[in-house]
Amino acid sequence: MIKILIVEDEEPIANLIRMNLVKAGYQCEIAADGEAAADAIAERPFDLILLDIMLPKLNGYEVLEYAKTVDVPVIFLTAMGETQQKVKGLKLGAEDYIAKPFEIAELLARVETVLRRYHKTERKLRLLDIEIDTDSRTVTQSGHPVDLTTKEYELLLLFLRNKNRALYRETIYENVWGGEYSGTGRTVDLHVQRLKKKLGLEEHIVAIYKVGYRLEC
């Protein structure tokens, strides 16, 4: 199982991140200060570190140096608007950054992207009788291949990473299509309907009035 170290001194934020990563299938550990994070990195292997910059005892940049010695990727957690800190972190070797406050769907998408870059993602994901092979980007149902478009495949992954969580149409559009949602048009709705029909998920992907959709399982 993929193991992630969350380095965050604000307990509510750390617990929120852990809860959602665990729901997505990851194993998590929390370190509340820089020294505890450095000790954890030295003693145990991790696949990814989510690292706040402003920490007690050792700051995030110092912890990053520990992480680089064991070749574990780091995503910085920064406050909104801290441009200089973001740039410094990336120059020192961080893979990405997430500005707080953030949407959980964005966090999960960025985690998945970095893990995939380091070839540390789970190769196979399952939902009911559906299996996704993330290496070959193929989908089978009851052992039979299912022909999905690129957007349908990305949409299915997004739902799987956010099981039992309401996803706004804006969030879905930004993560699958990569642009800003205008609030008009039915692109998201049409793709969701096609995905539901292809995989027989009409009872599992439910519409939420004035919000978006949720995968229930």
The string of pLDDT tens digits covering residues 98-143 is 888 888 888 888 898 888 887 666 667 888 999 988 778 899 999 9
Give the residue from 153, 154, 185, 157 showing the smallest Cα distance to 169: 185
pLDDT category, 20, cuts 50, 70, 90? Answer: confident
Give the residue from 25, 2, 3, 6 showing the smallest Cα distance to 76: 6
pLDDT at 83: 67
Please tell me the least confidently modeled range out of 37-41, 46-50, 64-68, 116-120: 116-120
pLDDT at 7: 96
- SS3 string, the chain, reads CCEEEEECCCHHHHHHHHHHHHHCCCEEEEECCHHHHHHHHHHCCCCEEEEECCCCCCCHHHHHHHHHHCCCCEEEEEECCCHHHHHHHHHHCCCEEEEECCCHHHHHHHHHHHHHHCCCCCCEEEECCEEEECCCCEEEECCEEECCCHHHHHHHHHHHHCCCCCEEHHHHHHHHCCCCCCCCCCHHHHHHHHHHHHHCCCCCEEEECCCEEEECC
Cα of 111 vs its chain's centroid, Å = 4
Distance in angstroms (rounded) separating the CA atoms of residues 118 and 89: 18
Q: Are residues 44 and 110 in the same domain?
A: yes
State what percent of residues in the chain have pLDDT above 90. 41
| 217 or 122, which is more confident | 217
What does pLDDT average to over the chain?
A: 86
Whether 184 shows a pLDDT value over 80: the answer reads no
pLDDT at 41: 92
Residue where a domain terminates, one of 88, 117, 146: 117
The number of domains in the chain is 2
pLDDT category, 60, cuts 50, 70, 90? Answer: confident
Q: Are residues 83 and 35 in the same domain?
A: yes
Mean pLDDT of all residues in 180-192: 81
Q: Are residues 109 and 129 in the same domain?
A: no
pLDDT category, 154, cuts 50, 70, 90? Answer: confident
- Report the CATH number that the domain containing residue 204 is assigned in CATH: 1.10.10.10
Neighbours of 196 (CB within 10 A): 17
pLDDT at 34: 93
Q: Are residues 104 and 131 in the same domain?
A: no
Are the C-beta atoms of 129 and 141 separated by less than 8 Å? Answer: yes
Are the C-beta atoms of 97 and 76 separated by less than 8 Å? Answer: yes
Neighbours of 88 (CB within 10 A): 16
State what percent of residues in the chain have pLDDT above 70. 91
Residue where a domain terminates, one of 117, 149, 175: 117
Q: Are residues 98 and 17 in the same domain?
A: yes
Q: Are residues 105 and 172 in the same domain?
A: no
123 forms beta bridges with none
Mean pLDDT of all residues in 69-97: 79
- Report the CATH number that the domain containing residue 84 is assigned in CATH: 3.40.50.2300
Are the C-beta atoms of 117 and 73 separated by less than 8 Å? Answer: yes
Are the C-beta atoms of 26 and 3 separated by less than 8 Å? Answer: yes
> Which residues form the domain of 198?
124-215
Residue where a domain terminates, one of 117, 146, 165: 117
CA distances 202 to 22, 158, 172, 205, Å, are 26, 17, 18, 6
